[in-house]
């Protein structure tokens, strides 16, 4: 602003509003704001948001003077200035800034971003929980994010997060022929050596060279000894493990979906459909509903095990299973290639 680069100032405000406030702070605060009681945590969130909105519209006042004024009048209390344009422009209070907390939170947000991208890559929806994620990082990094790691656990939807300082136990190591070494060493026989090596089990080859220091192969009746310098060591995730990395931190996810994890994920998908139908009927948040569901036997078993969760999340007074679909709104959905019909009605 001082250098009259107004467009840059506006973009910074926009990025804060979308990324920091809306897509992170407000979304992460939903649960504590939905609590019916006036808890300290809920009131703290309200207070933070009030101060945030008040400061934000003061920042916006030079850009959008009329909208900012309207918002200010809605937030204004009796002892405040009559107009937002009579207020001082906000100044940074350095006492309120915790650099370690901000650094740790940024690391968590970066991990969330790559973790969700990894789930998308391996084709497992975020609503389906995974058993664990392993963070490969230094002890210093672990200490900096440990107090915030519950946010990461919820965002990437895993049951547990563990810490390790190396990937041993989660990766298989294989040997790949290093042609830059093999070519000059074996000259005209290099092609034959390469073909023989391609037929071998690369993991067993690595283990044997690691234990014995060399590996012998027969090339046209001649025994040739190969050592670790003739190869490149390649790491590959073990079966059921997916890997990604950001900022020097490696995330390993256990991708094996047990029956229990599948059931929980399926029920979360059902809840999302019911919530969508509630919104379509424009029901009040407190309005209880009655539900009739028709689905195949396998999916019914999964839903049965989480029926209490579905009722609580959707404010359902009663859930019945029947092919006779009657209600204020009836819809058929496809979840994991299976059709499920849902009928909902406001409870009297």
Same domain, 153 and 104: yes
Q: Are residues 15 and 75 in the same domain?
A: yes
Asked if residue 60 and residue 20 are part of one domain, the reply reads yes
**What's residue 243's pLDDT?**
95
The pLDDT tens digits for 262-275 are 999 999 999 999 99
Range of the domain at 111: 99-167+239-256
Say if 296 falls within a structural domain. Answer: yes
Q: Which residues contact 186 (CB under 8 A, 6 or more apart)?
A: 193, 224
pTM of the model: 0.81
Alpha-carbon span 201 to 204, nearest angstrom? 5
Number of domains in the chain: 4
Last residue of one domain, picked from the residues 43, 74, 96: 96
Radius of gyration of the chain from its Cα atoms, rounded to whole angstroms: 29
- Alpha carbon 77 to its chain's center: 39
Q: Among 96, 128, 154, where does a domain finish?
A: 96
- The string of DSSP letters for 21-34 reads IIIIIIHHTHHHHH
Q: Distance (Å, rounded) from C-alpha 119 to C-alpha 285?
A: 31
Over the stretch 298-315, which tens digit does the pLDDT of each residue have?
999 999 999 999 999 999
> Cα 10 to chain center, whole Å?
29
pLDDT exceeds cutoff 70 at 1: no
Q: Are 134 and 249 in a shared domain?
A: yes
| Residue that is written with structure tokens 């000894």 in the block | 225
Q: What is the C-alpha to C-alpha distance for residues 205 and 45, in angstroms, rounded to an integer?
A: 58
Residues 135, 76: one domain? no
The reply to whether 248 and 118 lie within a common domain is yes
CATH number, domain with residue 223: 3.30.720.200
Please spell the DSSP secondary structure of 138-149, one letter per residue: -HHHHHHHGGGH
| pLDDT exceeds cutoff 80 at 16 | yes
Q: Cα–Cα distance between 209 and 206 in angstroms, integer? A: 5
């Amino acid at each position: 602003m001082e250098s009259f680069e107004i467009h840059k100032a506006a973009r910074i405000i926009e990025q804060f509003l979308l990324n920091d406030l809306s897509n992170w702070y407000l979304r992460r605060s939903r649960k504590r704001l939905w609590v019916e009681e006036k808890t300290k945590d809920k009131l703290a969130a309200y207070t933070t948001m009030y101060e945030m909105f008040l400061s934000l519209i003061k920042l916006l006042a030079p850009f959008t003077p009329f909208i900012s004024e309207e918002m200010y009048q809605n937030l204004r209390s009796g002892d405040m200035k009559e107009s937002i344009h009579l207020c001082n422009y906000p100044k940074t209070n350095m006492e309120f800034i915790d650099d370690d907390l901000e650094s740790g939170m940024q690391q968590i947000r970066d991990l969330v971003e790559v973790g969700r991208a990894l789930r998308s890559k391996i084709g497992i929806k975020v609503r389906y929980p995974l058993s664990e994620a392993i963070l490969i990082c230094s002890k210093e990094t672990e200490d900096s994010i440990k107090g915030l790691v519950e946010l990461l656990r919820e965002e990437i939807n895993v049951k547990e997060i563990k810490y390790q300082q190396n990937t041993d136990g989660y990766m298989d190591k294989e040997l790949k022929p290093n042609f830059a070494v093999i070519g000059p060493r074996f000259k005209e026989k290099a092609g034959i050596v390469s073909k023989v090596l391609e037929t071998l089990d690369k993991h067993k080859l690595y283990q044997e060279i690691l234990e014995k220091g060399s590996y012998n192969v027969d090339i046209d009746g001649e025994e040739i000894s190969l050592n670790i310098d003739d190869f490149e060591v390649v790491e590959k995730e073990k079966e059921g493990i997916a890997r990604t990395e950001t900022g020097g931190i490696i995330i390993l996810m256990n991708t094996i979906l047990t029956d229990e994890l599948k059931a929980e994920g399926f029920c979360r998908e059902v809840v999302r459909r019911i919530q969508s139908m509630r919104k379509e009927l424009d029901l009040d948040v407190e309005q209880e509903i009655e539900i009739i569901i028709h689905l195949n036997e396998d999916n019914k078993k999964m839903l049965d095990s989480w029926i209490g969760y579905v009722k609580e999340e959707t404010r359902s007074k009663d859930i019945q299973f029947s092919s006779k679909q009657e209600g204020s709104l009836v819809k058929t959905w496809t979840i994991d290639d299976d059709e499920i019909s849902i009928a909902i009605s406001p409870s009297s």
